Homo-oligomer: A and B are copies of this chain.
Amino acid sequence: MKYGVVAFPSKKLQDLANSYRMRYDPHYEQITPHMTLKDAFEADDAEIKDISEELSKIAKRHKPFKIHATRVSSFAPLTNTLYFRIEDNSQITALHEDLHSDFFGGPARFSFVPHITIAQKMSDSEHADIFGQLKMVGVNHEEVIDRIHLLYQLEDGSWTVYDTFRLTGDEE
């Protein structure tokens, strides 16, 4: 089964992201707007209990953290994906690192760019057009993330939340 770890931002930021996603993101229906903290990975039922426990420990080591969406960026030319760029900060980086420890199979394959996807799988010309528009509109939104979620993927591609972990920082 495929699992992933995300943070869902507030309703306000999700609604804003969805106002674009409903038009420009074919994955719109599979999951609500989110910041991916750990990309999809395979695990079976036995492993997921350990993973869930490890996530619970990690959540206890990290306090709630601020996110600041500052601009609309693009992953082009890698992929024609537009996103709200979340500014890096030491807390997000530390959490991401903990989610890519040896326990989880080690470092991420790509360098971590905190973001919330708002458009993807566009043609080159559509990408150029929409990117131009959305860059001008921009985004400026700050809020606090106080929980992360472990999800699994259904056969149709949609994602279900399996568990929620509150970031308490109790055991920093």
Using a CB–CB distance below 8 Å, which chain A residues touch chain B?
A: 1, 8, 11, 14-15, 18, 22, 28-29, 32, 147, 149, 152, 154-156, 158-164, 166
Contacts and interface: CB of A to CB of B under 8 A. Distances in A.
A146 to B, nearest CB: 10
A22 B147 CA distance: 30
Given A8-B161, A147-B163, A161-B8, A154 B32 contact: yes
A158 B15 CA distance: 10
A57 to B, nearest CB: 16
A152 B161 CA distance: 13
Contacts of A163: 147, 164, 166
5 contacts: A8-B160, A15-B154, A32-B154, A32-B160, A149-B164
Contact of A160 (B14, B22, B155): B14
A14 B147 contact: no
A53 to B, nearest CB: 12
Contacts of A159: 32
Contacts of A149: 161, 164
A18 B158 CA distance: 10
Nearest to A21: B156
Contacts of A32: 154, 158-160
